[in-house]
Amino acid sequence: MNKNIYKLGILALALSMMMAIISACGSTTNSNGGSASPGGAGETGGGDAAAVTAGIVLLDLKNPFYVRMQTAGTQAGKDYGVKTIWQSADGSLEKQISIVENFIEQKVDVILIDPQDAKGIIPAIDKATSAGIPVITMGNKVEGNGNYNTLYPDYENESVVARIMGTALDGQGEIGLLTGNAGNYVSDNREKGFMDTMTKEFPNIKVTAQPTNWDPAQAQRISETWLNNSKLDAIAFINDPLGLAAKGSADAKGAKLLYAGYDGDVEMHDMINSGEMLVDVLTGAERVGYWNVAAAARIAKGSEMPIDLFMPTYFVMSDETAAMLKDKGLEIEYITPEKAVEVGKDYSNELGPDQPDERISGEK
């Protein structure tokens, strides 16, 4: 009798253990402690809550644009159940390569890179993809071994920015253009879009372009030199923090200039509303950060994405500037700074895990 009871007890224990194992296989737990059913990530990016780690290397983490990227990208990680590790290359290709190699050794699930040099970073990308780690190059078209590219219509946008500035100046004057650094896809394409349009459509406007390495301090020094040695009418910049530095130099000298920029930072809204800043292009630092991490999460969890992903952008102007341009024969589709604030802060709804993959990839 005692032996039978003992055998029944062993059998019950074994059945209990089997049920526990089956139950554990039926659901996964996300990084926030919740549970989710497996298998749905390929459709919406919100189903597979398995632990995913994203290694992210930016050009630097001092520029306000990148700080905002990190803040919203970290929120995207929380929304998508992804651990984000942020590193700064401090403007160095060598350091950027070293960080990527460290991510490979750590066996992260996906790597995001804001390339210092679109060609120089390729060996590190190839090493990562060969190790089975998907790579996303942010804001760059990089011809690596199967990496994804998150892009903006930079050439087209800067062509419009140049057209706006040239029209506002009535085709006459002198412009300083603050760029990033040669070899960076974003910088090169924004510069080319601006310069090609000015050369073709406004041949009587002189444009002097100067790289800043994305550093506002360098932008300030360059602007001071321009103001000391020429009669500038306007300064255009391919990154809003560079423009704030340029305006600081101009204000210190009492110079009244026109401005045009890119990124859509809220700090530029007073300048837009006053009319001294003609136009800004809204990508939105927060939107960019959230969007990239959202794409990384979906790719790491198995979603099929195109190699090139595109983010929608917006021209931001005041109604008064838009009316002035229209009087001069140029009509632009735009949003006001007030609307831009709404768009720039709505990234969790616009790009969150409940949205379809097409919202992230830009596919129609």
For every residue of 293-304, DSSP letters joined together read HHHHHHHHTT--
What mean pLDDT do residues 309-336 have?
Answer: 96
For residue 320, is pLDDT > 60?
yes
What is the mean pLDDT of the segment spanning 58-78? 93
pLDDT of amino acid 364: 60
Band of the pLDDT at 118, cuts 50, 70, 90?
Answer: confident
Tokens read off for 27: 């659901």
* pTM of this structure: 0.71
Mean pLDDT of 177-205: 94
Report whether pLDDT(249) > 80. Answer: yes
Are the beta carbons of 250 and 225 closer than 8 angstroms? Answer: no
Mean pLDDT of the chain: 87
Q: Do 59 and 87 contact (CB within 8 A), yes or no?
A: no
Task: Report the helix count and the strand count for the chain, using DSSP H and E.
Answer: 15, 14
Question: Which of 221 and 118 is assigned the larger pLDDT?
Answer: 221
Percent of the chain predicted with pLDDT > 90: 76
Of 19 and 57, more confident: 57
Which two tokens mark 157? 């946008």
Mean pLDDT, rounded, for 73-91: 96
Cα separation, 312 vs 333, in Å, equals 14
User: From CA 24, how far away is CA 141, in angstroms rounded?
Assistant: 42
- Tell me the C-alpha to C-alpha distance, in Å, between residue 295 and each of 15, 48, 219: 42, 14, 32
Could you tell me how many residues make up the chain?
Answer: 364
CA 252, chain centre distance (Å): 32
CA distances from 25 to 18, 29, 36, 131, 195 (A): 11, 11, 12, 27, 58
The predicted model gives 323-340 an average pLDDT of 98
Mean pLDDT of 77-95: 96
DSSP 156-223: HHHHHHHHHHHHHTTT-EEEEEEE--TT-HHHHHHHHHHHHHHHHH-TTEEEEEEE-TT-HHHHHHHH
**pLDDT band at residue 45, thresholds of 50, 70 and 90?**
very low
Checking if the pLDDT of 7 tops 80, the result is: no
Q: Which two tokens stand for residue 34?
A: 């919740």
| Dihedrals phi, psi of 253, to nearest 5 degrees | -100, 0
